[in-house]
Structure 1
Amino acid sequence: MVPPQRKDGPKKDGKSQGDPASRSGSAKDGSSRTRDGKDAPARRSGGTSGGRKNASTTDGGRKGASSARGSKSAAEGRARTSDGGRTRASGSGRTRVSDGGRTRPGPHRPRSGGGPRGRGGPPRRPPKRRIRVPFRRRDPMKRLNAGLLVVAFVLSLFAGRLVQLQTIESGHYTARALEQRLRKIDLPAVRGDITDAQGNPLAMTVEARLIYADPSVIKPEKRQQIAGALAPMLGLDQAAVLKQLSRQNSRYEVLAHGVRPDQARLVLGMKFLGIGTYPEYRREYPNDSLAAGVIGFVNAEGRGGAGLEYSMNRQLAGRAGWQRIEISPDGQHIPMGEDQKRPPVPGKGLRLTLMRDVQYKAQQAIEAQVKATGARSGSVIVMDPRNGQLLAMASAPGYDPNDYGKSNWRRWGSPLVQEAYEPGSTGKVVTAAAVLERGGVTPETTFRVPYSVRRYDRTFHDSEEHATERLTFAGVLAKSSNVGTILASERIDQDTLYKFLRDFGFGQKTAVGLPAETPGQLRAPKQWSGTDRYPIAFGQSLSVNALQMASVYSTIANGGVRVAPNLVAGTTADDGSFTPAAAPAQKRVISQRTAQEIRDMLEGVTTKEGTAPKAQIPGYRVAGKTGTAQIVNPSTGTYEDGGYTASFAGFAPADAPQLVVQVVLQHPTRGSYFGGDVAAPVFKDVMNFALQTRKIPPSGSRAPSVKIYADD
């Protein structure tokens, strides 16, 4: 019979009271821990110490029950199970459960057998129970130390990064920050001035302003307002300005170059955030279109676009510099900020041989005649034959280099050296020089001159129909007879004629310094056909530019010595010092006697019997030659309906030449097209003015009597 259970109450020390065997047990053998952390005495089963056996099992905070069997009876054994401070006893003894210091009786579960191997069969295993593991609070000092370690580690990362930024990588980030504030601005060099022979400015550099924008600081709602205000003031396209202001990734956009200082002050007066100015220079031409074909212009990029501004750009421009400045967030220059600078080197100025007053008169005269005759273009050259200096180089129609963009780009060049034409009768002086030197011909040599002659399969004739005439060679030149020139040219071979043409400068550039100069066309004799030598003798089937033709007459006026044409007298430095240009090349082409004979013959051209009486200047002896050459029609490749080139070249005073004037009119369409009618009057007007300007006294001698017709 199973004894009744006894309920024991808890004691003050938290221990539960068991049987005597339990009280006398050792805590070492089977102790259980109560909630206050003290060991509870193990319970014993049976009456004596012999035969007592305890067993305990712990697995992850979980203790299993252990059964002890006595030697007398299995019912006297006890099994204890400790689970998180809970103790259960089963069998014939007492069962107590301790939970949180409370003791309560457990259920009575009798065995089916009397012992571990009873007659009722093997002992029944107790049912599995879910064991709840309570939360174990660890040592707070350990948690605090762990937390401090984590905080210290994080702080060490921050400190390491701080050291890295302020020491190891400080230079890199400082440079990047400075780079964000710095702006590199080009500092153009002061371009050298271009002056005439007396120092009068023809092209000059003046102070200006650059207008720029910093789109990153301009508010989107202000862009339209700023573009609408600046575009009309600066002459810009409003849509283009708005596009520049909308580039958010940009901090520097150039809106306009070369703005006048007073305009720049108006721009700054609007106080637009992100709009600023910077000093620069702009090119100005104080005489507007005067000598534009020679001087040229400077384009928007600051480089020469035509004329001397283009060909002499390196000397004029100098070397540009640069400056790095700091820009504040609102787009303004920080005066005391970082400032790196490479100063520019100013360009050299050019002093030309041109005389402004003579240039003005020449340009005025040719513009008026081009308009009066309906000519396609015209040019005037005034030259000193003694040193090759060019005193005037005018062409029409011209353009204003201050506003070159509004003119036709075809006018930007210089037709004086770029346009090739057939010289016509003005080229006959070269043939005359060759036959006087090598052909045994004199000014009095007589030629029987019909209206036309036939050579091989071609017929050549004079410009006006006439009966057969007996002319002296001087008369042939005075009458400008093509047939008479052909007859005289047959006294020399074609190689001799070619040599004289080359010596006078045909087929080669003058090297005056203007861009895109044409050398003209002069083929070698081996390329001539059977009849080419005849039109070449009277100035056709070859081409020249106007300056080459002026050089031919300068050679005759200078006694047979050719001085290369020159336009640049020298250069001026920034300090005002002048360096003269190298002396021009000189070469004797014909003898002085031959030159004198041709000069006398050319005086006959300006007489009443000659072709250019309109070239006469009262008080001065004038020598010259007219030219009326057909123009090749580019559509057909023939002279038919191609028009004419009217020209006149001459010098004065004929007894001591000091000035040469060459006039060319291309394709006049109103009135006469003969050189003596349309070009000679321009020669007279310009030559008379130049003689007065240079204070050249009138001739002190009478003109020689030139025999034109031979005696019967």
Structure 2
Amino acid sequence: MGLKNLRDSQQQRFSQSRWKKNRIPGQHQKRGVRFRLFVVWSILIIAGFGLGIHLYSLQIIQGPKLTKAARSQQMFNMRPFIPRRKIIDRNRDVLAIDRPVYTLYVHPNQFNYTIEEVASNLAKILGKDATELETRFRKHKSGILLSHALPEATADRLYALRFDGLDLRRKYSRYYPKEDLAADVVGYIDGDRRGQAGIERSQQKMLERPTRTVRLSRSGNGSLMPDYAPEGFLHFDDLQLQLTIDSRLQRTARSALTKNLKKWKAKRGAVIVMDAWDGSLLALVCSPTYNPNRYSKKDIPLFRNWAVADLYEPGSTFKPLNIAIALEAGVINPFDVFNDNGTIQVADSTIKNADNKGNGQVDIAKILQRSSNIGMVKIIQRMRPSSYYSWLEKIGLGERSRTDLPSEVNSRLKPEKEFTIKPIEPATASFGQGFSLTPLQLVQMVGSLGNGGKLVTPHVVEGLVDSKGKMHVKPDLSPPRQIFSPGTTQKVVEMMETVVSKGTGKPAEISGYRIAGKTGTAQKAGPNGGYLDDAKITSFVSILPVNSPRYVVLAIVDEPKGENAYGSTVAAPIAKSVMEALIPLEGIAPEKSNE
């Protein structure tokens, strides 16, 4: 029985096991499948929902910010270099131009030739010592600066060597082909390409071409895509700044001035030539001067054009203007005669002629011929001080000429109350002392005698012209102001002619030409008042031609040395040299004297 029961029990377990393996899934199994599906779908839904939120955040909330960032990576803001406009003279000779130059770095660790070979070849091209170059190449392995401004022709020779290790970096530099010829007018620009003197400074806006920033597309590797560049963005106008200066006349003026400064061991000097009809300056020279290509090697005071920026007392060169004032005011006529005994008492002061001599009976023309201080005092004493003061203001004293050159200063005239109360003030002003102006302003005032009585604006800028010579932009100048009548000015010019033909201006006489002029030898005012005993300014101003006055020439020399240093001996010969060059350049025909 036991054995039988054991077999029945085993058989029963075996049958139950087979039944479990072969039975159909029940309710419990179905619930497990549903749970797993729920979990999977929940994960998918949550992930999709999260992805949607993230996409919303990226596209809607952060969209503008990300778009801007993408564009900044794909686009490149470029401000192309636009060369500064050229400066040319009245004959289209180039005075200033932008040109490509190269900075040369040398990397000896990259040489494909021996150090000796490289040093030898570079020394020949750069004008340097080969041994010194070898030493530098052996001492430093890379980044040796040999030059920061090599001209393009030199760079081409270096490229032709095909040496590895030569690093030429191109940039643009301002170049002045005439060097110091017109430095006083043109000026220079500094390393930041900003004008620091002359026209380069005062006409900065006209010289800089307009530029605009452009956005260029970049490829994935960062390189620019030229196909997407705006059309013509690198093109610029061909306008040039034309000046009224004539380089040929400028060269003559500089040569004559330099020669005489050396002869008389003078401190400095200036020459100005102006067309009185319109105020255009044909020449403006100061000496000593500087080369704008190497401005860093000169003293800063040289950059300041003293003919425009420094005041001085003009002395006798102002006498023709006082004659014009007296004629216009009606207190004298050309045939009046005055007694010049060599001295005159004004209040508690004694005034004398420069030579301490009297000239006897002198008419107006002889007062100019002999530069009589006594005659001038007596002429101005016929005017009320207040009326004379008003005339001095009318012709521009106390103001500036409004030239287009930088750093101009106002001329100085004492306050009206002091001038009219003290009799000595009108007396000294009659022969050009007691007030101060710039050499350029004197030329402007004397120019009114050469154009029928109009005060014009001295200027050097003609305007912006294109490559064919067509004028596009002209500067706005103050309109001419009538201060004297044409009849008065012609009388004064004819009186000034006798100064050259018979008087102190005879060294400026040119055969066949009628030239009006006036010499001046003025005392220099001291820094603490009064006048310096051992310093004077000599000058000569002229107008030509007399029959049709147009051109004004001023030569001025500061502190010449020597006992015989006067306007007639120092300045008049300079003016003569300049006029001899001016006559053929401007086609001035010879004329007969009407004396």
TM over 0.5: yes
CA–CA distance in structure 2, aligned partners of residues 458 and 659 of structure 1 = 38
Question: Is this contact kept in 2: 1:188–1:344, CA < 8 A?
Answer: no
Cα shift at 1:425: 0.5
Q: 1:425-473, CA deviations, whole angstroms, 9 ceiling, x for partnerless residues?
A: 0111122112112243122211111222221122211111214622112
In structure 2, give the amino acid aligned to 1:692: P
CA–CA distance in structure 2, aligned partners of residues 285 and 522 of structure 1 = 39
Aligned to 2:496: 602
Aligned to 2:7: none
Aligned to 2:92: 199
Aligned to 1:12: none
Question: Is this contact kept in 2: 1:627–1:646, CA < 8 A?
Answer: yes
Report the secondary structure of 1:662's partner residue.
strand
Report the secondary structure of 1:656's partner residue.
coil
Report the secondary structure of 1:513's partner residue.
coil
In the alignment, structure 1 residue 405 sits paired with structure 2 residue 296: yes
Report the secondary structure of 1:282's partner residue.
strand
CA distance change for structure 1 residues 358 and 334 in 2, over 3 Å: closer, same or farther?
Answer: same
Cα shift at 1:485: 0.6
In the alignment, structure 1 residue 481 sits paired with structure 2 residue 375: no
In the alignment, structure 1 residue 382 sits paired with structure 2 residue 273: yes
CA distance change for structure 1 residues 540 and 322 in 2, over 3 Å: closer, same or farther?
Answer: same
Q: 1:178-207, CA deviations, whole angstroms, 9 ceiling, x for partnerless residues?
A: 979998765332211111112121112223
In the alignment, structure 1 residue 680 sits paired with structure 2 residue 572: yes
Equivalent residues in 2 for 1:391-470 (5 A)?
391-467=282-358, 469-470=360-361
Equivalent residues in 2 for 1:545-564 (5 A)?
545-564=438-457
Cα shift at 1:631: 0.8
Cα shift at 1:661: 0.7
Cα shift at 1:349: 2.0
CA–CA distance in structure 2, aligned partners of residues 180 and 372 of structure 1 = 69
CA distance change for structure 1 residues 263 and 301 in 2, over 3 Å: closer, same or farther?
Answer: farther
Question: Is this contact kept in 2: 1:211–1:277, CA < 8 A?
Answer: yes
Cα shift at 1:620: 0.5
Aligned to 1:504: 395
Report the secondary structure of 2:260's partner residue.
helix
Q: 1:590-611, CA deviations, whole angstroms, 9 ceiling, x for partnerless residues?
A: 1222112211211121134x11
CA–CA distance in structure 2, aligned partners of residues 584 and 472 of structure 1 = 37
CA–CA distance in structure 1, aligned partners of residues 199 and 536 of structure 2 = 30
Report the secondary structure of 1:283's partner residue.
strand
CA–CA distance in structure 2, aligned partners of residues 438 and 450 of structure 1 = 26
In structure 2, give the amino acid aligned to 1:519: N
Cα shift at 1:233: 6.9
In structure 1, give the amino acid aligned to 2:536: Y
Aligned to 2:585: 693
Cα shift at 1:245: 6.9
Cα shift at 1:234: 12
Aligned to 1:646: 538
Cα shift at 1:171: 11
Equivalent residues in 2 for 1:258-657 (5 A)?
259-264=150-155, 266=158, 271-272=164-165, 277-278=169-170, 280-321=171-212, 334=223, 343=234, 348-467=239-358, 469-528=360-419, 530=422, 531-573=424-466, 577-579=470-472, 581=474, 582=476, 585-608=479-502, 610-634=503-527, 636-641=528-533, 643-657=535-549
Report the secondary structure of 2:521's partner residue.
strand
CA distance change for structure 1 residues 435 and 603 in 2, over 3 Å: closer, same or farther?
Answer: same
Cα shift at 1:693: 1.6
In structure 1, give the amino acid aligned to 2:397: F
Give the TM-score taking structure 2 as reference length. Answer: 0.76
Cα shift at 1:305: 1.5
Cα shift at 1:500: 2.4
Question: Is this contact kept in 2: 1:317–1:346, CA < 8 A?
Answer: no
CA–CA distance in structure 2, aligned partners of residues 672 and 474 of structure 1 = 25
Report the secondary structure of 1:358's partner residue.
helix
In structure 2, give the amino acid aligned to 1:430: L
In the alignment, structure 1 residue 668 sits paired with structure 2 residue 573: no
Q: 1:24-56, CA deviations, whole angstroms, 9 ceiling, x for partnerless residues?
A: xxxxxxxxxxxxxxxxxxxxxxxxxxxxxxxxx
Report the secondary structure of 2:192's partner residue.
coil
Report the secondary structure of 2:282's partner residue.
strand
Question: Is this contact kept in 1: 2:519–2:539, CA < 8 A?
Answer: yes
Higher helix share: 2
Aligned to 1:659: 551
Equivalent residues in 2 for 1:217-228 (5 A)?
none
Question: Is this contact kept in 2: 1:316–1:348, CA < 8 A?
Answer: no
CA distance change for structure 1 residues 585 and 522 in 2, over 3 Å: closer, same or farther?
Answer: same
Report the secondary structure of 1:500's partner residue.
helix
Question: Is this contact kept in 2: 1:622–1:651, CA < 8 A?
Answer: yes
CA–CA distance in structure 2, aligned partners of residues 339 and 375 of structure 1 = 64
Aligned to 1:88: none
Report the secondary structure of 1:532's partner residue.
helix
Report the secondary structure of 1:631's partner residue.
strand
Cα shift at 1:630: 0.8
**Which is further off, 484-493 or 183-192?**
183-192
In structure 2, give the amino acid aligned to 1:384: D
Q: 1:597-629, CA deviations, whole angstroms, 9 ceiling, x for partnerless residues?
A: 211211121134x11210111111111111111
Equivalent residues in 2 for 1:695-710 (5 A)?
695-699=587-591, 701-704=592-595
Cα shift at 1:524: 3.7
In structure 2, give the amino acid aligned to 1:585: P
Cα shift at 1:209: 4.9
Give the TM-score taking structure 1 as reference length. Answer: 0.65
CA–CA distance in structure 2, aligned partners of residues 326 and 234 of structure 1 = 44
Deviating 4+ runs (over 6 angstroms): 167-185, 210-213, 218-222, 228-235, 254-257, 323-328, 337-342
Note the residue ranges of structure 2 that are not aligned, 5 or more in a row: 1-35, 129-135
Report the secondary structure of 1:693's partner residue.
helix
CA distance change for structure 1 residues 480 and 575 in 2, over 3 Å: closer, same or farther?
Answer: closer
Structure with the bigger RCO (C-alpha within 8 Å, sep 6+) is 2
